[in-house]
A and B are shown apart, each in its own frame.
Chain A
């Protein structure tokens, strides 16, 4: 499904990695590991097509990732939350779904916010939420996310232990449905389902 071939990354004057190959099939999770500055985020940005690789190819279902179709299969969660402070959590979820061309009913969105523990705060502007709560708004997108490829940059940062377990469950369910996930994390988190592959950079 997702293949990377001979990838090379150069940031500034430094070569972060070269000759990187991997292949990920349905139901598999790729754990990216490595010290700070090893190029984990750069690799993720290459996989989503925002950073062109210095050399090498990335293919999704056999085709180049430069097409609009690839982006229709991709869900990316960066280390920025990508939520608007002026909008409420509910409006943020609905706007994100509309921009990604996904159907999301208001009931499903409210349900997703309840799952991440934001019940009763649907109508409060996000600027009044704490860091952890803002992160939860961003993660609530994953609850109804049906797209097959998830690319998550440090998804467990700023979450308490209950939320970490919840998120691990959401990722497991996604893998069981035949989805793929690539993520970076510094915390050891066990994902109960799917095949887990590891890739160490640097």
Chain B
């Protein structure tokens, strides 16, 4: 069981390394969108501190959306998706591997760069730590939920727009608790409650989303 997941992760990471432009462009999108806000709003530390969690999280959602359409599209086009579906394992495990690989190349870099971007918003050290933790905890859920949308829109023309309409509303709980954790830390309430809920959402979506995704992929492959 673990073997197939590791095999898929290994393959997808190798492919991502050969195509670094994809990873780098989503990361730069995140950096630039976040950096535009302090420039546009002006040097008002109180206002920036209030805006920071929301801005960082919205930018993280959009940056994740950028890489979602290609999650299955490339494999579908060259026929490898059929071969993955014919592997002697449940397709849900294959999808779990793809979701983890997607998080490693799209979610993890966002979490690593987030504290640096948080400094632009004059966040305290505590808030920066919670922000990084929240993005680390929340982005796997974005990859998991996003995979369902990517599978449902596979092979559709103009699927990218439909994908964002399908997936962004489902990202709302992650956005609320992710931004809420940082907010609560800034106001001194403590973000542990939000982080626990965020972890729960992530476990539920990484555990269940691959099976829903597998069902959608089977329909797409008919």
Stretch at the interface among A15-23, A83-91, A113-121, A171-179: A83-91
Q: Indicate if the CB atoms of B14 and A87 lie closer than 8 Å.
A: yes
Q: Whole-angstrom distance between the alpha carbons of A89 and B207 in the complex?
A: 34
Interface secondary structure of A, over-half rule: loop
CA distance A138 to B77 in the complex (A): 15
Q: A80-B78, A80-B79, A101-B3 are in contact. Are A86 and B86 (CB under 8 A)?
A: no
A80-B78, A81-B78 known; A86 vs B84 contact (CB < 8 Å): no
Please tell me if A162 contacts chain B, counting CB pairs below 8 Å. Answer: no
Task: Tell me, rounded to whole Å, the shortest Cβ–Cβ distance linking A71 to chain B.
Answer: 4
Contact A101 B80 (CB under 8 A): no
Give chain B's interface residue range (CB within 8 Å of chain A): 20 to 34
Is B32 in the interface zone, CB < 8 Å from A?
no
Number of A-B residue pairs, CB cutoff 8 Å, is 76
Point out the residues of chain A lying under 8 angstroms from B11, CB to CB. Answer: 84, 95, 98-99
Contact bitstring B60-71, A, C-beta under 8 A = 1, else 0: 000000000000
B150 to chain A, nearest CB (A): 18
Given contacts A99-B4, A125-B18, contact A82 B87 (CB under 8 A): no
Q: What residue of chain A has the Cβ atom nearest to residue B218's Cβ?
A: A50
User: For B80, what are the chain A residues with a Cβ–Cβ distance below 8 Å?
Assistant: 82-84
Residues A71 and B87 in contact in the complex (CB < 8 Å), given A84-B15, A99-B7: yes
Closest to A95 in B: B11
| Complex CA distance for A33 and B173, rounded to whole angstroms | 54
Which A65-87 residues have C-beta < 8 A from chain B? Answer: 68-69, 71-72, 74, 76, 78, 80-87
A interface residues with partner B (beta carbon < 8 Å): 45, 48-52, 68-69, 71-72, 74, 76, 78, 80-87, 91, 95-96, 98-101, 125
